Chain A
Amino acid sequence: MADVKVKKETNLSEPAEVENRIKELCQQFPHGITDQVIQNDMPHLEPQQRAMAINKLLSLGQLDLLRNSSGLLYRMKDIQSTSKMKGSDNQEKLVYQIIEDAGNKGIWSRDIRFKSNLPLTEINKILKSLESKKLIKAVKSVAASKKKVYMLYNLQPDRSVTGGAWYSDQDFESEFVEVLNQQCFKFLQSKAEAARDSKQSPMVQRNSSFATSHEVWKYICELGISKVDLSMDDIETILNTLIYDGKVEMTVIAAKEGTVGSVDGQMKLYRGVNPVIQPTGLVRTPCGLCPVFDDCHDGGEISPSNCIYMTEWLDF
């Protein structure tokens, strides 16, 4: 190699040139460049000049500073996001970054403080200004009603924060659940009655009184009582509450993959049932339901002889 490679001699004392060079390097390596790479490229650059250039780029918002296991990484930033942050200072950018990292679960203000090491008053100010710029929003968490988590403006809050279909505005919709409960039960009950009246052989009767969770889901969707879209899992939770009420029983059968409503080769079937016994004898007496049962003794303040519940019950 006789020729000496003629490199375009850059005037290394010009900071602008350094910055441009660094930017080019970044574009070459989109995943980010380390200090080492810059040094290799411009070996005669002094560390101080390098640091200055990098800081300038960072403050301009054209470079992203990241840390990985081996050291610091510099990465090119999107033009789009840089325009957004124009006019904000470093602290706001930092906070914004933290919130962005939290994704759609959001992050609590105290956690922002921990991550950024900024004092609380600063954080609050920044959060307010970011909110007014419509870059972030506050979402109330359903688990603890006083807690507010922050997330990017255009993100959908995660299910665990809002509670899913049963919560609207952080309130548990008990009437909605009750209505769904009743509707499902009525559907299953009418199916069971129809099966019983059909007077066929008992096996057929029982099988026709079953309804798959998919059928119930379709029925509820068609009823249109829900403003929110309900998934099959939601319907299954409602059906489970009916099981705990003792009104419905469930079996699981193996189903072919691909049949409507089957999940992992299984289908859940639900059926309305009758209670096994009538209300038991103990509860037909006032003592069975008495709130002061434990305080009742002969000759005491509350005793069978002067029990007002008994008197009312006897005169009924």
Chain B
Amino acid sequence: MTAQEVRLCGLLLREHFGEVVEKVGRHLIRSGAQNLRTLLHETGISIDLVKKSLCVLVQHGVCVFSSGRKGPGSPTEYRTSCDRILRILRYPRYIYTAKTLYGDTGELIIEELLQRGDMTMSSTVKTVADRLTQNMEEGRSMDYSEVSSAFSKLVETHFLQRCPPMAAAATKNGAASATPATPATPGTPAAPVSTTLPTPESFPDCYRVPHVTLIGKGKRRLSNEDGEDQRSAKRAKIDSETHGDEGIYWQVNFERFHLHFRDQAIISAVANKLDQTSSEIVRTMLRMSEVTTSPTATCTKPLSANEIFRSLPSSYNIARPILDQYLTLLVDDPMEFVGKAGESGGGMYVVNLHRALANLARATLESVVQERFGSRSARIFRLLLRKRHLEQKQVEDFAMIPAKEAKDMLYTLLSQNLVQLQEIPKTPDYAPSRTFYLYTVNQLPTARMLLQNCYKTVANLIERRLFESKESKRLLEKSQRIEAILASLQASGAEPEQLTEVEEMITAPEKQQLESLRLHINKLDSAENQVDETIFLLESYINSTVTS
């Protein structure tokens, strides 16, 4: 929980849930596990608001509660972690991935689940069908079965998972202070005494689609129901029908999406470095090991060349010997994406996941140094990465850069902490004239430092975006009013002159300002997503080194 992470989490919470939730969330991040009484006391917010914010946080899986440290009788404690909140930054990427894999239906399912935190299958299917019907032409509507099949597909490929089910009801009733109770609470975690919370995957039914009776079509919302619907959208829709899956709530499986992103990164790196066919081969290998490899594995399970040959997409009809050649080339490549694990079955090949991540992280570091300090500094940086420890003179000689400039660049990199100095004394007193000074680069600490910089950057971008919209608040309100007037005039069938009159209430420079504001905000948004890609690479690399 570094300062930058806390700041970023605060901004994300504020944007998505509001200021009260932000305050509570921030407090929880900073102070670790706390019970309701302490929370009330330290944030100074009224108890209703605190309870409601905790509801919101728990609903989205951001906050988990467990019974207190002192044993079963003590008040429940709430705790939250930064990681979960930082995922919010990645929501657009998840939705986009679902869209590319499963079309609009998949996209809307994921979107609904991300917005609500968790929902039952039936309610998801209904809502998504309604939304899809809304966008279709008149007379057509979306069948529930289509949406259900998309949902099942998502579950089969593990993109969705069940929330951990409720444990003994005693835990819930035995809580001394008021446990937030809402109609859609996900299950409490398991046994009261355990301090670690079970992961959703430890339950055997995690990926089993329940038998749901869902027959019908999506309903199209008429325009005069808009106002009503918006008001009641916040309240859980009380459905009179039951569909046989009460109490089974589904959430988005972020880890699975992360594995998918990681695979994508490796495939595109192979495509850049080698060629399209090699990347297809690697894609096939990764697809085959999707469900057999654990998320923290160093490399995939060995696959024989025969299997790979059979599973290649039919559009790529390459001959068997050519495939062998490609595999050999992949193994020989210095980047070591693919390794050979044995000779049976025509050669057993694995994809080296951790090494690929390390190489990608290294390329990221190098590109940051290159863009920030120039290609000669990048040369020195890469040189130090390869040769580990070098003296000043050796750096100049290897990099073929004049002494003065090399010295300057090294000192700049040193001041930015991208390069470290190692002293090796010749004598017990560290006399400078009798000590070796070696320059070195440590990949892991540098990656962590850059990750913090990324967090700060995203926080800066969000702040700038909020600032820009605040500056033009008056203008935005005016344009919104005008749009509302226009819409109502159009609905009641006004004449074109009235419309143009209303439109002219916004002057041309104001229109331009609005336009530039829109461009700015789009740019800032897309920049956030781009920095998030870097964050993802660095985070995966750092996590892979922790577990190995």
Which residues of A approach B to under 8 Å, CB–CB?
A: 166, 172, 174, 177, 181, 196, 201-203, 206, 237-238, 240-241, 244-246, 249, 251, 273-285, 287-289, 293, 296, 298, 303-305, 307, 310, 313-315
Across the two chains, which residue of chain A brings its CB closest to B381? A244
A166–B397 alpha-carbon span in the complex (Å): 10
* A304 lies within 8 A of B461 (CB): yes
Across the two chains, which residue of chain B brings its CB closest to A289? B372
* A283 lies within 8 A of B360 (CB): no
Total count of chain B residues near the partner, CB < 8 A: 61
* B359 lies within 8 A of A276 (CB): yes
* B534 lies within 8 A of A274 (CB): no
* A304 lies within 8 A of B363 (CB): no
Residues of A within 8 A of B326 (CB): 202
Contact among B269, B402, B523, B532 with A281 in the assembled complex (CB-CB below 8 Å) = B532
A201–B324 alpha-carbon span in the complex (Å): 11
* A304 lies within 8 A of B460 (CB): yes
* A280 lies within 8 A of B368 (CB): yes
* B401 lies within 8 A of A307 (CB): no
* B531 lies within 8 A of A282 (CB): yes
Residues of A within 8 A of B534 (CB): 280-282
Q: A274-B273, A280-B533 are in contact. Are A287 and B400 (CB under 8 A)?
A: no
The reply to whether the CB of B463 lies closer than 8 angstroms to some CB of chain A is yes
Across the two chains, which residue of chain B brings its CB closest to A241? B400
Judged by DSSP, the binding face of B is helix
* B378 lies within 8 A of A245 (CB): yes
* B463 lies within 8 A of A288 (CB): no
CB distance from A253 to the nearest CB of B (A): 11
Sorted from nearest, which 5 A-B pairs have the closest CB atoms? A281-B530, A283-B371, A287-B457, A304-B460, A172-B402
Q: Which of B518-546 contact A (CB under 8 A)?
A: 519-520, 523-524, 527, 529-534, 537
A82–B367 alpha-carbon span in the complex (Å): 67
Q: A202-B329, A203-B325, A304-B464 are in contact. Are A280 and B367 (CB under 8 A)?
A: yes
Residues of B within 8 A of A203 (CB): 325, 328-329
Q: A284-B530, A287-B456 are in contact. Are A314 and B524 (CB under 8 A)?
A: yes
26 cross-chain CB contacts under 8 A: A166-B400, A201-B322, A202-B329, A203-B325, A203-B328, A240-B398, A241-B399, A245-B379, A249-B334, A273-B273, A276-B269, A276-B360, A277-B363, A280-B364, A281-B530, A281-B533, A282-B364, A282-B454, A282-B531, A283-B372, A285-B461, A285-B530, A285-B531, A287-B460, A305-B467, A314-B520
The reply to whether the CB of B46 lies closer than 8 angstroms to some CB of chain A is no
* A274 lies within 8 A of B383 (CB): no
A283–B275 alpha-carbon span in the complex (Å): 26
CB distance from A101 to the nearest CB of B (A): 27
* A246 lies within 8 A of B366 (CB): yes
* B461 lies within 8 A of A244 (CB): no
Contact among B272, B325, B335, B464 with A307 in the assembled complex (CB-CB below 8 Å) = B464
Across the two chains, which residue of chain A brings its CB closest to B386? A244
CB distance from A169 to the nearest CB of B (A): 14
Across the two chains, which residue of chain A brings its CB closest to B371? A283
A284–B531 alpha-carbon span in the complex (Å): 8
Q: Which of B353-386 contact A (CB under 8 A)?
A: 359-360, 363-364, 366-368, 370-372, 375, 378-380, 382-383, 386
A289–B375 alpha-carbon span in the complex (Å): 14
Residues of A within 8 A of B399 (CB): 241, 244
Q: A280-B533, A304-B464 are in contact. Are A244 and B398 (CB under 8 A)?
A: yes
User: Which of B275, B277, B370, B527 has the most chain A CB atoms inside 10 A of its CB?
Assistant: B527
The reply to whether the CB of B489 lies closer than 8 angstroms to some CB of chain A is no
Q: Which of B429-468 contact A (CB under 8 A)?
A: 450, 453-454, 456-457, 459-461, 463-464, 467
Across the two chains, which residue of chain B brings its CB closest to A316? B523
Contact among B363, B400, B405, B520 with A275 in the assembled complex (CB-CB below 8 Å) = B363
Residues of A within 8 A of B364 (CB): 277, 280, 282
A293–B360 alpha-carbon span in the complex (Å): 24
Across the two chains, which residue of chain B brings its CB closest to A275? B272
Residues of A within 8 A of B268 (CB): 277
Across the two chains, which residue of chain B brings its CB closest to A172? B402
The reply to whether the CB of B403 lies closer than 8 angstroms to some CB of chain A is yes
CB distance from B402 to the nearest CB of A (A): 4
A73–B322 alpha-carbon span in the complex (Å): 78
* B273 lies within 8 A of A304 (CB): no
A244–B529 alpha-carbon span in the complex (Å): 31
Residues of A within 8 A of B459 (CB): 304
* A244 lies within 8 A of B450 (CB): no
CB distance from A13 to the nearest CB of B (A): 61
User: Which of A181, A307, A310 has the most chain B CB atoms inside 10 A of its CB?
Assistant: A310
Q: A203-B329, A276-B359, A280-B537 are in contact. Are A244 and B383 (CB under 8 A)?
A: yes
CB distance from B536 to the nearest CB of A (A): 9
Across the two chains, which residue of chain A brings its CB closest to B278? A202
CB distance from A94 to the nearest CB of B (A): 32
A240–B375 alpha-carbon span in the complex (Å): 15
Residues of A within 8 A of B453 (CB): 282, 287-288, 293
A166–B401 alpha-carbon span in the complex (Å): 11
Residues of A within 8 A of B457 (CB): 282, 285, 287-288
User: Which of B372, B375, B403 has the most chain A CB atoms inside 10 A of its CB?
Assistant: B372
Across the two chains, which residue of chain B brings its CB closest to A285? B527
* A298 lies within 8 A of B463 (CB): yes
Residues of A within 8 A of B524 (CB): 314
Contact among A237, A246, A279, A282 with B382 in the assembled complex (CB-CB below 8 Å) = A246
* A282 lies within 8 A of B368 (CB): yes
Not counting A181-B400, A285-B457, a sample of 13 additional A-B residue pairs whose C-beta atoms are within 8 angstroms of each other reads: A177-B400, A202-B277, A244-B380, A244-B383, A244-B399, A245-B382, A274-B273, A276-B273, A280-B367, A283-B367, A284-B530, A285-B527, A288-B453
A276–B405 alpha-carbon span in the complex (Å): 28
CB distance from B146 to the nearest CB of A (A): 36
Residues of B within 8 A of A237 (CB): 398, 400
A201–B321 alpha-carbon span in the complex (Å): 10
CB distance from B387 to the nearest CB of A (A): 9
Residues of A within 8 A of B379 (CB): 241, 244-245
Residues of A within 8 A of B275 (CB): 196, 202
Contact among B277, B371, B382 with A244 in the assembled complex (CB-CB below 8 Å) = B382
CB distance from A146 to the nearest CB of B (A): 14
A166–B527 alpha-carbon span in the complex (Å): 44
A212–B533 alpha-carbon span in the complex (Å): 38
A304–B520 alpha-carbon span in the complex (Å): 14
CB distance from B469 to the nearest CB of A (A): 12
* A277 lies within 8 A of B398 (CB): no
CB distance from A273 to the nearest CB of B (A): 7
CB distance from B541 to the nearest CB of A (A): 12
Residues of B within 8 A of A246 (CB): 366, 378, 382
A312–B450 alpha-carbon span in the complex (Å): 24
Contact among A206, A282, A283, A305 with B463 in the assembled complex (CB-CB below 8 Å) = A305
Across the two chains, which residue of chain A brings its CB closest to B387? A244
* B402 lies within 8 A of A282 (CB): no
Residues of A within 8 A of B329 (CB): 202-203, 206
A287–B530 alpha-carbon span in the complex (Å): 13
* B371 lies within 8 A of A288 (CB): yes
* A276 lies within 8 A of B335 (CB): yes
